[in-house]
Amino acid sequence: MVEVPRFDMPFAARLSPHADRVREHTRSWVRDMGMLGGAPWTEAFYDAADYGGFGPLTHPTASFEDLKHINDWHTWGFYVTDAFREGFLRPRNVVGGKAFVAGLKSVLGGAGSPLHPAEKGLADLVTRSTLDPDDLTHLSEFLDALLWELHNTAQGRVPDPIDLVEMRRRSVATELSAKLARASVRAELPEELLRNSTMRALVDSFGDVPALRQEIVGFDRTYATGASTTSAVLAVQRFFDCELQQAVSVVADLIAARLRQIGSVLGELPSLADEYGLDAEARAGLHRYAEALKSWLAGELLWTSRSGRFSSVPTPSPKSFHSPSGLGTAALVIR
C-alpha cells in the first residue's frame, strides 16, 4: 500500500447552494439510464463515491440548470471509466473493450440504438448538448485513451512517463472539463486567445493536476490490485528505478509544480488580455474563467479526498459535503 501525501491547494473550495438538488437529480438520472444495476455501480458504491456531489464542488457558481447538465456529463465520464476498468481492463478483455468503445463512438456519431447504460447516458447527453467538431474530437480521444490503457495493460507494459501524462489529459477529458467550466461562467473568449500557447499551457496543467493526483489516491484500488499497468507512479518507479513510495513523492512533486505553473500563468492573463486587445466584457469573462478553473481544482481535491470511489472499502460520504440552507449560505467557503 502507498502512503498518500498531503496535497497543497492554493485555492479555496466552495460548495454550490444547489448541491442537494443536484444530488437528487443525478441519482434519478443514473437510475433512469440503468447505471445502478450492480456492475460496476451498486447503490452503496454510488452513495459512497458521491458522484452527485462532484459538480457542486467543482462548479460552485453555476446555475441549477447548468449544474445538472454539467454533473450529468461528469457522472457519465466516471461511469464509463469505472465500467471499462471492471469490465475490460481488469480482465484484459481487448476484444470486448474495442466493441465497447466502438458502440459509444457509434452513438456519438448518431448511429445505432443505445444498448447499455453507458450508451444510453451518452445518447441522452448528446440530444441535450450542442457539440461542435472539437467536442466530438475530444470525446473520441477520451474513448481512445481507454483503449490505449487496455492495450498497454494487456501487454504488461508500463508506458513512458511523458507519454502517460499526455494520454492522461485525454482520459480525464481535460479539454471538455475546461470548456464546461468556461461555459458555466459565461466566459465568451476569442478562439485565437484560447489557442494561444499560454492558454494551452494553462489547460494542460489544469488537466494534469487531477489526473496525476487520482493515480496516487486510487493506486491501491486500481494499480496495486493489478487492474492496470498504466500508472504514473509505476512509470516513475520504473524510469527512475526507485522505491514505490519515492515514486509517489515524485508524482506529488509534479502535481505541485503544475499548480505553481497555473499560478504563474494566471498572473500573465492581464498582459495577455492587453496583447489580444480584449474589451471590458471579454476581460471580465477571462477573469471569470480563471476563477472557475481555480474553483474546479480546489473542489476536485476536496471531492477526491472524501469520495469513496478511490477506496478499497467505500463508506458513505461525509455529511460536510452537503450544503447548508438559509440566508447567507449561497457561497460557503470550505477550508
Tens of pLDDT, residue by residue over 74-102, are: 999 999 999 999 999 999 999 999 999 99
177-217 pLDDT tens trace = 999 999 999 999 999 999 999 999 999 999 999 999 999 99
Those residues whose C-beta lies under 8 Å from the C-beta of residue 197, and which sit 6 or more positions away, are: none
Q: Say which amino acid occupies 238.
A: R
Q: Which three cell numbers stand for residue 304?
A: 477526491
Q: Which of 256, 26, 231 is nearest to 121 (CA)?
A: 26
Residue 312: band (very low, low, confident or very high) from pLDDT cuts 50, 70, 90 = low
Q: Which of 138, 114, 142 is nearest to 127 (CA)?
A: 114
pTM summary value:
0.91
Average pLDDT over residues 255-275: 96
Those residues whose C-beta lies under 8 Å from the C-beta of residue 109, and which sit 6 or more positions away, are: none
Residue 64: band (very low, low, confident or very high) from pLDDT cuts 50, 70, 90 = very high
70-74 own/partner pairs: CB under 8 Å, 24+ apart: 70/180, 70/184, 71/22, 71/25, 71/26, 72/26, 72/29, 72/121, 72/124, 72/125, 73/125, 73/129, 73/176, 73/180, 74/177, 74/180
